Chain A
Amino acid sequence: MPRHSRLKDHNAEQRMFGRRVVAASTVIFLLVGVLFARMFWLQVVRHDYFSELSQGNRIRIDPIPPPRGLILDRHGEPLALNRPAYQLELTREQTPDLNDTLARLVELHLVAPDEVERTRRTIMARRPFDAVPIRLQLSEEELARFAVHRPDFPGVEIRPRLTRFYPHVGVGVHAIGYVGAISEKDQERIDEAKYAGTTLIGKLGVERNFEDLLHGDTGYQQLLVNAQGRRVDRVGVSAPALERQEPIAGDDLLLSIDANLQRVVEAALGAQRAAVVAIDPANGDVLAFVSTPTFDPNGFARGLTVPEYRALEDNIDRPLYDRALRGVYPPGSTIKPLVALAALEYGVTVPENTRFCKGVWQFPGSSHRYRDWKRGGHGTVDMKRAISQSCDTYFYGVSDQIGIDRLHDFLVQFGLGSPTGIDVLGERDGLVPSRAWKKKAFKTRALQVWFPGETVIAGIGQGYMLATPLQLAHAAATIATRGKRFAPRLVRAVRSSTTGQVREIPPRELPEVKVKDPTSWDVIIGGMVGVMSPGGTAYRSQAGAPYQIAGKTGTAQVFTVGQNEKYDESEVNERLRDHALFIAFAPADAPKLAVAILVENGRSGSGTAAPIARKVFDAYLLPPAQAAAATSATETAPPPTGGEE
């Protein structure tokens, strides 16, 4: 044992071991003390705080979207309804790898390859815990396909939802509008909380403008969720009470549109690119609001694929383009009654004054010839005759005497050159030119000069002058009421979803057009009746009608004819042919309906547009049986020869 300096002392070792064990026990008791101090802190002192956190952990507030308000026509016929559909929703927070998930959905043909990027952006724009719809309506077959693979897609769920349904497909689509998936852009104009559970938002027309009323109030439901966010029914052995607040459905809208009239008009227009607006002059109710071709708004509610949307966008006939609201066209001769009224108002002429029309009109001392649509001219015409035969030279002279600024000031009173104030967005201004306007519109001094020749062509509704079919219908209605104006409206009343009460929206009166001599109205209305009488441009369209129409035909040039050329329609490409226009109201003595009709490249107002107006009036003014008979009668009449105007 030399290496061990000390010997083992078993007793001393045992005593020391005993002391160490006592020390260790002390440490253990201290640690127990520390642990319980901590547990006391967590479980007693901070208990309320942690209880709240644990409550927040397991309760998720799930929004319940409200059923969207219905849209009905003036007689209560439904135009936009809700119906159940299955949609595919993705919750970012619960999806482990968004890109991978989307890629696998593409493999299952549930998301189109070229939709991936847009879908991803839409998802990223929403809050991470929102369930974002990525497909709005799944077919039965798609439903089954996803169901098989559901376990592979955490965070992706199928949910039954109400979706928008337009039973009449394209009927009135430009007035009603449509709903579509909430886009990134829509996000900016909505309250996220209010739209927490909402999938579809109004994109156009009434659906868009009355979004706030149609949407309703989102309800909510507390859900018990586990850590993966999956809904569960109970915590271990007990099911806690969960709150639920029912959503409040959106209000129903009662339109001024008459679905039946709308259908008649759309049928009458057929495949033509056209617009028709029919207004009740007494209150501004829009009874028909048509832009053709129409399209199926149900596609938007379902979610169009990129090729589907592109097909609509690229269609040469531009079905998405609302010609009635946004199409601006030269009003052509339909402006003449108003120019005549301006001439009387400014004392430029009296109705009985006649002028001789030799087919051309020239400024004194100028060689430039302003031609009449009728070669050889109309001979001697007074104001009524000038209107009924649509004599251009008469109005060249008259408007030269009025002057462009006075003409402008007079025409804008009828709502031309500015929006009519209809209750949907997107209306275009149109244009009533003036010197001031030209100064603003052109940059160089040379171009800013107003030429007298520009005044005379404005007098026949050509040149710079532009108007929408809606503005023309409004102007026609204003003539019908002899100056009383109402803002056109598509929504007549709102029916509350909670009380069922119908709240009428009072007609909105606009500043009245006042003329010094009220008999001036009789003159121009007389002229418009003359249009529908023997010798008038649209006489044929009055034939056999038991009521009197007051109308005015018009033709708007698309293609500029050179000084010494003659417009020969057979040579002109179909898309460059003149637009056909017609404004009218009936019955002439007690007007119930005012219409404006535009047929793009329809060539002749009398031949193409006026017969459509007749069908509109028949459908609206006559009892159904008689209307059908009258319509078939006009159809069997010999086709108009055209060439007028």
Chain B
Amino acid sequence: MRTDIAGPGYSSRAQRTLTLTGRLLDALHLDGPLLLSVMAVCAAGLIVLFSAAGEDVHIALGQAARVGLGLGVIAFVAQVPPRVMRIGAPFLYGIGVLLLVAVALVGDVAMGAQRWLDLGFVRFQPSELMKIAVPLCCAWYLHERPLPPDFTTLVTVVMIVLVPTLLIAEQPDLGTALLVVAGGGLVILLAGLQLRYILSLVVLVGAAVPIVWMFLLHGYQKQRVLTFLNPQTDPLGAGYHTIQSQIAIGSGGMFGKGYMNGSQAQLEFLPERSTDFIFAVIGEEWGLVGCFVLMMLYLLVIGRGLYIATQAQDTFSRLIAGSLTLTFSVYVFVNSGMVAGLLPVVGVPLPLVSYGGTSLVTLMAGFGILMSVHSRRKLVST
């Protein structure tokens, strides 16, 4: 009797709660699974950061505040319908390019690179804006044209990608340039770029490598690549990062040295341990198991993002959702590959985990776009 009464009573209450939450999320144009997996990654990131930053409460709280801000950005961007984004895309792109030119002319130099634009009240990095603006503009350009794109379309869209990329690479900021190319390039790939173009691109890149090496790369960029190929040649200089991060990861073993117990991280042998190299801290303190758990959380985010892209009901939404999700995975693999010694050291943070606000806000804006896309799919179909 009791169970008879209690059972359905509880279950219906739980169901009601779920339904209510669902309705609330729907009303806010948010996607529950994506939001949850993003928050899970952020939470894991905060836990690791507290240790990586040497148990500095201020740093951890500051980052928590940025995560909060990021969630606000998601909520804000999600309110913008994809249609508005599409219309706004070329303008956003245009403003972005103008700002990049402005940076090149009057920007602040910080740490040897000219990336910042001082607007008086806030220092602003236009290259960060381009991570969103370039895929948006590409998707806008391609959405009403027949796909796969013909050659003329392709040339135009490649120009859309290359102009800001070159401006950013010139700053120089190789990591961001890479992510901007990835964002635009992935739109083109998802738009159905024919296999023959892909193959010829591979050949072209192969041919371009020596030219880029000789004429375009800065000395320090060349050094990074050389050091990546053989870190032992410069153990105290450029190879130091790679060697120390591999020691950190390798010494972590299967289960890690324990939270806040990684000697490489705690004794500061690992450089940039709370920013670009935070993945090595996870490897050292949490071991292979910890890396696996984090990677699964990332796959949840990526999986949900790709699902949203496939469910999108117009070309623009599909392309932008797919591109942003895959760019996010490029972040993950470039960073972890670099920390694990598989790729040269480029300034790409571990998304949602590395300390810092700029890339976090951009990423969160991207998730906002995904959510906006997902919550409006029925409107398009009806």
Contact = CB atoms under 8 A, between A and B. Distances in A.
Interface of A: 4-10, 13-14, 16-18, 20-21, 24-25, 28, 31-32, 34-36, 38-40, 42-44, 46-47, 49-51, 53-55, 57-58, 224-228, 232, 235-238
Interface in B315-335: 315, 318-319, 322, 326, 329, 333
A227 B336 CA distance: 23
B68 interface: no
B51 interface: yes
A94 to B, nearest CB: 13
Contacts of B340: 35, 38-39, 42
B232 interface: no
A121 B337 CA distance: 45
Contacts of A53: 247, 250-251
Contact of A35 (B150, B302, B333): B333
B248 A54 contact: yes
A38 B341 contact: yes
A58 B253 CA distance: 17
17 contacts: A9-B146, A24-B306, A28-B333, A38-B337, A38-B341, A43-B252, A44-B253, A53-B247, A54-B264, A227-B269, A235-B262, A235-B266, A235-B267, A236-B259, A237-B259, A237-B260, A238-B261
Interface string B234-267: 0000000000101111111110001111111111
Contacts of A55: 251, 263
A21 B267 contact: no
A13 to B, nearest CB: 5
B56 interface: no
Given A21-B310, A50-B246, 18 more contacts: A17-B309, A20-B190, A21-B190, A35-B336, A38-B341, A38-B342, A42-B246, A42-B249, A43-B250, A43-B254, A43-B288, A44-B254, A47-B251, A51-B253, A53-B250, A225-B267, A232-B267, A235-B261
Given A6-B146, A228-B268, A21 B322 contact: yes
Given A8-B147, A17-B192, A49-B250, A236 B342 contact: no
A266 to B, nearest CB: 56
Contacts, number: 157
Contacts of A40: 288
B322 A20 contact: yes
Interface residues of B, number: 57
Contact of A13 (B147, B267, B291, B329): B147
A235 B257 CA distance: 11
Contacts of A227: 267-269
Interface of B: 51, 55, 144-148, 150, 189-190, 192, 244, 246-254, 258-269, 283-284, 287-288, 291-292, 295, 299, 302, 306, 309-310, 315, 318-319, 322, 326, 329, 333, 336-337, 340-342
B147 A31 contact: no
A191 B382 CA distance: 89
From A39, A40, A232, residue with most partner B Cβ within 10 Å: A39
Contacts of B284: 54
Nearest to B248: A54
From A20, A25, A42, A49, residue with most partner B Cβ within 10 Å: A42
Contacts of A21: 190, 306, 309-310, 322
Given A18-B310, A51-B251, A236-B51, A57 B263 contact: yes
A261 to B, nearest CB: 59
Contacts of A9: 146
B322 A236 contact: no
B14 to A, nearest CB: 33
Nearest to A12: B147
B269 A50 contact: no
Contacts of A31: 329, 333
Given A35-B333, A35-B337, A225-B267, A20 B299 contact: no
A17 B318 contact: yes
A16 B148 CA distance: 9
Contacts of A4: 145-146
A8 B292 contact: no
A58 B291 contact: no
B342 A8 contact: no
Contacts of B326: 24
Nearest to B287: A43
Nearest to A38: B340
